Structure 1
Amino acid sequence: MNRRKSIEIEGVNHGTTPIPQGAKIDRFVFSSAIAGIDPDTGEIPEDPAKQVELVFRHVRSFMENAGGTPDDIGKMTVYLQDEQYRDLVNQEWVKMFPDAESRPARHSTVTNLRRGALVQVEITAVLRES
């Protein structure tokens, strides 16, 4: 039996590229880049706040599909098209992780993103033992 299992988010994909949204090996979960794709249209909306809201919604779905919750996330890497989107990320971050004593590690970097994405994230998580 394979130790590795691909993880997907319904309505969100990497187009024609043969890459899953992430992978789970035993209790360890790793995501590919998760963008603010609207699952109804398959497009990335122009509105920065909507993109960031979708990114965090997809993080929650991704973790549920992996068998966990955002509480299992140990680290999130945030990729920003521009520094100006950091505040939007911080707003959603605090909604997802309201306890300042229990937040994942986070690193943010400004880089050139594709397809109109203004924000993307990658996560590493460890699920509870079952």
Structure 2
Amino acid sequence: MTHEMPANLDDQCVNVFAHVRALLAEAGGTLDDVLKLTVHLVDYRDRTALNREWERAFPDPAHRPARQVMAAVLDRGSLIHADLLAVLPAPS
């Protein structure tokens, strides 16, 4: 792992969703457990890359979580930041 930020929004969106999947898996959950995803974009009107990854992550429009996209000022080359709310299954 290089810890280097990709320069473009497409690759940063791929990274965000990869990290979301990994975080949920570590906590015992999946994308099915997400209730809401809040996304902060430097250019909040440029949603092409975000929508592409969103539709890959949540292919069924009838079962997508809520999503909010907001404008943000981010540092160190970040073009996207996301936080989520999920309800995880009880540990077995």
TM over 0.5: yes
Q: Could you state the TM-score of these two structures normalised by the residue count of structure 1?
A: 0.66
CA RMSD of aligned residues (A): 1.1
2:36 corresponds to: 75
> Are residues 1:53 and 2:14 paired?
yes
Q: What is the SS of the residue equivalent to 2:69?
A: strand
Bigger share in strand: 1
* Deviating 4+ runs (over 4 angstroms): none
Alignment partners' CA distance in 2, 1:127 and 1:84:
31
Larger Rg: 1
Structure 2 unmatched ranges of 5 or more = none
2:26 corresponds to: 65
**Greater relative contact order (Cα 8 A, min sep 6): structure 1 or 2?**
2
> Are residues 1:86 and 2:58 paired?
no
Q: What is the SS of the residue equivalent to 1:101?
A: helix
Bigger share in helix: 2
Percentage of pairs with the same residue:
43
Structure 1 unmatched ranges of 5 or more = 1-39
* Contact in 2 for aligned 1:49/1:88 (Cα 8 Å): yes
**Equivalent position amino acid for 2:80 in 1:** V
**Superposition deviation, residue 98 in structure 1:** 0.3
Alignment partners' CA distance in 1, 2:63 and 2:69:
18
